[in-house]
Structure 1
Amino acid sequence: MNWFKNLFTTTAKAENTEPMKKYLIVGLGNIGAEYVNTRHNIGFKVLDYVAREANLSFETAKLGAVAEYNVKGRKLILLKPNTYMNLSGKAVKYWMEKENIAKENILVITDDLNLPFGTIRIKAKGSDGGHNGLKNIQLLLNTTEYPRFRFGISDEFKKGQQVDYVLGEWHEAEKVKLMERFVVAKEIIESFALAGLTNTMNSFNGK
């Protein structure tokens, strides 16, 4: 009977040594105190919330600030690129290659002028929509087919004032509503890793 017992012992060991499935969660933004509370930095803010709720700390690493978030057997690498928005792709590509993460397992969180404030759109692929961060990621990955989580910041600005609006700070009323949106954003990130992209889109788009 020893061979029978050894069979199950070997199988258990193999299961226990199986590597954790990894995901790269990228929050886009600009480094520097002047950008901290700007609309363009919503990606950073979402990851800051996730890290705070999970009692994690970001550490300065190559091309960004990084924290590891383990959720039910999944390893989520939270990345805030320090390359400034226009060169975000450099950090994304480096960490994808370093951690051997496929493009379908990355989720890029970005602001979106074309969506009303707080509106969420999760997509498997798409154009850059004029967003310089997405544009650079698309250029360096040579594809538009990677998951993205668009966070609506609305387009409540006068003609010619887009840059000032995007790099401007949230209104007080928006700050209050952001906290509820951060809770949902954390749920989205965890769902992406645990339930998959399609289920996450079905559950959260328009929520």
Structure 2
Amino acid sequence: MFPPFLYIEEHLLTPHTSLKAHMWLIAGLGNPGLQYQNNRHNIGFMAIDAIYQRFSFSPWLKKFHAEISNGLINGEKIFLIKPQTFMNLSGQAICEALRFYKLDLKNCIVIYDELDLPPGKVRVKTGGGSNGHNGIKSIDTYCGTDYNRIRLGIGHPGSKELVHQYVLGNFTKSDQEWLSSILDAVAKNIPFLIKGNNSLFMNKISQEMKN
């Protein structure tokens, strides 16, 4: 442990003395492969790509059964991760990354599709159940439940029998306007969530989606 009130210059940190409070893992959920890239189920991957494009990140590397990149957002060290295990094993890749970087679950944000929210709606929460989402079930099993979640609404097809086909279907042309807006809003305002200001994150997104 460092002595109380000792200020440490960040550039003097060694790999053994890093400030984990200033490191975050942001994961997007989806399925790998070109045939899935425009699916509703892949909106988590799309959000990660939007964050990657807005800020300065390293080229993607294959590690932890995932694609991973690192960079800085407002001085915070950020790892972006897109598991390549397919949705149902997302927790395997995320848990490996958390262990490798010695990060707590509270420093993990997971972005994924939510059937029970209307298209274009966003909700943030910490912990809770999976609501039937297999990617979230996997993370809960491998890692635990006490992580931050950004739920991106994709709407519901109306009956349980249609869900599988719906989430693995592509966004339509009419979806593109709200989809582009929501991805841009999440990427633009993610610094507020990293700073722990969930309410400001939500307020900013709500304002931008209204506009």
Which interval holds the TM-score relative to the shorter structure? Answer: 0.7 to 0.9
Structure 1 stretches of 4+ moved >6 Å:
none
Equivalent residue, structure 2, for 1:186: 187
SS at match of 2:130: coil
Equivalent residue, structure 2, for 1:101: 103
| Counterpart code for 1:96 | L
CA offsets 1:63-84 (integer angstroms, 9 cap, x no match):
1001112022211100000111
Distance 2:33 2:186 in 1: 23
Equivalent residues of 2:51, 2:188 under 8 A apart: no
CA offsets 1:25-70 (integer angstroms, 9 cap, x no match):
0000000111000000001001111112235432222310011120
Matches within 5 A, 1:120-131: 120-131=122-133
Distance 2:124 2:189 in 1: 9
Instruction: Kindly indicate whether residue 9 of structure 2 is the aligned counterpart of residue 15 of structure 1.
Output: yes
- Percent identity reads 32
Unaligned runs of 5+ in 2: 1-5, 207-211
Equivalent residue, structure 1, for 2:51: 50
Equivalent residues of 1:30, 1:41 under 8 A apart: yes
Instruction: Kindly indicate whether residue 198 of structure 2 is the aligned counterpart of residue 200 of structure 1.
Output: yes
Distance 1:183 1:22 in 2: 23
Distance 1:122 1:159 in 2: 24
Please give the root-mean-square deviation of Cα atoms over the aligned residues, in Å.
1.9
SS at match of 2:97: helix
Residues 202 and 126 from structure 1, CA distance in 2 versus in 1: closer, same or farther, beyond 3 angstroms?
farther
Residue 182 of structure 1 and its aligned partner are, at CA, apart by: 1.1
| Counterpart code for 1:109 | I
Residue 171 of structure 1 and its aligned partner are, at CA, apart by: 1.1
CA offsets 1:148-198 (integer angstroms, 9 cap, x no match):
1100000034552111100000011111221111121113422222x21xx
Larger Rg: 1
Equivalent residues of 2:31, 2:84 under 8 A apart: yes
SS at match of 1:154: coil
Residue 140 of structure 1 and its aligned partner are, at CA, apart by: 1.0
Equivalent residue, structure 1, for 2:135: 133
Matches within 5 A, 1:62-73: 62-73=64-75
Unaligned runs of 5+ in 1: 1-10
TM-score (ref. length: structure 2): 0.84
Number of matched residues? 192
